[in-house]
Structure 1
Amino acid sequence: MTTTNLLTDPAECRPSATHAIGTEAATTVATVLKSLSDPLRLRMLSAIATDPRGEACVCDLAELADVSQPTISHHLKVMKETGMLASERRGTWVYYRIVPERRSAVTALLDTFAPAAVTDVQVEAEDRAEALRTMDARLTRLAEELADELTGLNRDLVVAIVRESYAGLVRSAKLTQHMIPLTERFARQRLADLTRDRESGVPQVLFVCVANAGRSQLAAAIVNQLAGGRIIARSAGSTPAADVHPHVRSLLAEIGGNRDAAEAFPKPLTDDAVRAADVVVTMGCGDVCPIIPGVRYEDWAVGDPALASEVGIAAIRDDIEARVRGLLTDLHVHVDGGSP
């Protein structure tokens, strides 16, 4: 069986534009539609078309928006110039009505498009409300489960931390389908910070940068890899981004594996995290942390991987690793001499 090439065989493919409207008609329609591409003009057109008198004056239409009468007159003039409206002056007021030949077109526009648009908005609002109800139910269930598990903590405190954690994360979230597991991880971290015993616990380091999407994530990953559990490293941001920068995510995969990279997510800076830390390191990006007595503060002037070339990113990683090794030495944590 022979397959006909419809792209090259003129006998099989004869495109035709004979049913298209003419250039002059298309230009006229486009001009009219352009004149209506303003919400206030559409509302004014609707008010005129539905007025029982069959017309409306500028004083009637001024009630539609908090704008001056000259602005109303300007919008009406635009629609009049495209043939949609006709006008008549009576005393000090000008009255506008739909041009009879255009009434059916205006009716079709308002009766067809407007209800469909309103329905779409209503459906979207209903979907959003249902999503909020579902999320609230899931948050409540998560809070109850954690409160049942962490019996040594005040139940109301656990519930409050869960809801605060969700609120802190969702502000910068790009996608929300993973918010519940992320909220659980962040809430557990915050509860651990609240209950940390500084005297008997292992040292804890907090790395802080604005977005928590690059340098701070990288520094925490290197500490956790080198220290092998002898130090807890966390990271946070004063204005967390929606996600970790792709360049940094690939580095995290090299350091700690794909699972660690997948689990990295920007987190907001909290006072609890600062209080729980033995050392707080800001990453040279101008962040200011709460000053807590007994906490050591450092600022590392480190380049931003998000703005660097491939060679620059490698140099930034090496710089952070060298600084991390120096910090671990100060904290009396022995590490091997090689790269992680």
Structure 2
Amino acid sequence: MTTNTAPSSLDACTPTTSAAIDIAAAAKVATVLKAIADPFRLRMLSAIAMDPRGESCVCDLAGLSDVSQPTVSHHLKVLKDTGMLHAERRGTWVWYRIAPARRTAVTALLDGFAPAAVLGEGGADVDPGDRDQASADSWVSHLAEELAEDYGSVDRDLVVAIVRESYAALARTATVTRYLIPLAERFARQRLADLSRDRDTAAPQVLFVCVQNAGRSQLAAALVNKLSDGKVVARSAGSSPASQVHPHVHSMLKGIAGEQYTSEVFPKPLTDDAVRAADVVVTMGCGDICPIIPGVRYEQWAVGDPSLATGDEAESIRSDIESHVRDLLGRLNS
């Protein structure tokens, strides 16, 4: 004879909904999450949040993707309808800023969730050597605190945005994450230095831009730093940066600037603050990707790509770049 025994109170499942988010609140949150669940909208939200002006014009945001102006306006309207953005028309253009009541939420999204999602914490793409590192959001907070002290003239929220965006931008192309944190710190410091730059008193600054920032723009920057003896500051960036400097170019950089300099260079994405800080922007095969900033001079150099050349061809390209650099330095010093 079989005896049925009632489950004890410890074994019985007692469903509860007391800890769940309220139905109405869940519906509202889901609506907002659905609205921002689009790569282009997230990029626009990020660009607006980190804009040093505290707001962005619709004309600035159009450069984030190859879409029409009406499409950009549609995506911005979706974000505005959720309450994430405030909009203000000034003349021809509409300007957007993060709604004050939503800034904390946007910061949490971009500082905490976004870096973790990009890195895939706990996933196969995280290098074993980094498993004992602090989580991305903890690192962002720690470094932001440090940099906020070093760059007191820059708004604290903007410092956090710069650190977060620098980390996430490099993580998108990183093949090994072991050195991601120190590289992101170096990139963030460079960007904050650009934001703090006093154009009237600082040394002339040149920004070289190519596609991958793995070849000609790196060579040009190294040549400027060497030939100007530090009297001209050179930066470089890429419209679609590679994961590392090309091996052929790496060898040439050693010959120009030495082992220490070469060990510290890495491909970096093009940022608006780098363009704004420059006195001269030199494009090298990347088309019209650079935003046009009043007061910045633009030049386009038609030079070969040393990463696609070998031997004598690569050296010829290096010489061509050096010739352009010497001419530029002569004009800057005249």
Distance 1:230 1:280, change over 3 A: same
Distance 1:329 1:171, change over 3 A: same
Q: Map 1:147-158; keep pairs closer than 5 Å.
A: 147-158=148-159
Identity, % of aligned positions: 63
CA contact (8 A) 2:211 2:285 kept: no
What is the aligned-residue RMSD (CA, Å)?
Answer: 2.2
Alignment of 1:320 onto 2:316? no
Alignment correspondent of 1:271: 272
Alignment of 1:142 onto 2:143? yes
What code does the residue aligned with 1:205 have?
V
CA contact (8 A) 2:238 2:269 kept: yes
CA drift of 1:288 comes to: 2.2
Distance in 1 between residues matched to 2:295 and 2:123, nearest whole Å: 50
Question: SS of 1:257's equivalent?
Answer: helix
Distance in 2 between residues matched to 1:194 and 1:180, nearest whole Å: 21
CA contact (8 A) 2:248 2:310 kept: no
Once the two structures are overlaid, the 10-residue window that deviates more, 203-212 or 131-140, is 131-140
Alignment correspondent of 1:181: 182
Alignment correspondent of 1:73: none
What code does the residue aligned with 1:261 have?
T
Alignment correspondent of 2:232: 231
Q: Which runs of 4+ in 1 moved over 3 A?
A: 123-133
Distance in 1 between residues matched to 2:125 and 2:191, nearest whole Å: 32
CA contact (8 A) 2:213 2:245 kept: yes
Say how many residue pairs are matched.
Answer: 211
Question: SS of 2:287's equivalent?
Answer: coil
Distance 1:181 1:125, change over 3 A: closer
What code does the residue aligned with 1:313 have?
A
CA contact (8 A) 1:209 1:283 kept: yes
The normalised TM-score by structure 2 is 0.60
What code does the residue aligned with 2:197 have?
R
CA drift of 1:133 comes to: 6.2
Alignment correspondent of 2:247: 246
CA drift of 1:225 comes to: 0.3
**Structure 2 runs not aligned, ≥5 long:** 1-120
CA drift of 1:230 comes to: 0.8
Alignment of 1:298 onto 2:305? no
Distance in 2 between residues matched to 1:308 and 1:127, nearest whole Å: 32
CA contact (8 A) 1:172 1:241 kept: yes
Q: Map 1:80-99; keep pairs closer than 5 Å.
A: none
Alignment correspondent of 1:210: 211
What code does the residue aligned with 1:203 have?
P
**Structure 1 runs not aligned, ≥5 long:** 1-122, 334-340
Distance in 1 between residues matched to 2:317 and 2:185, nearest whole Å: 32
- From the CA coordinates, give the structure whose radius of gyration is larger: 1
CA drift of 1:264 comes to: 0.6
What code does the residue aligned with 1:290 have?
P
Alignment correspondent of 2:60: none
CA drift of 1:234 comes to: 0.2
CA contact (8 A) 2:151 2:192 kept: no
CA drift of 1:270 comes to: 0.6
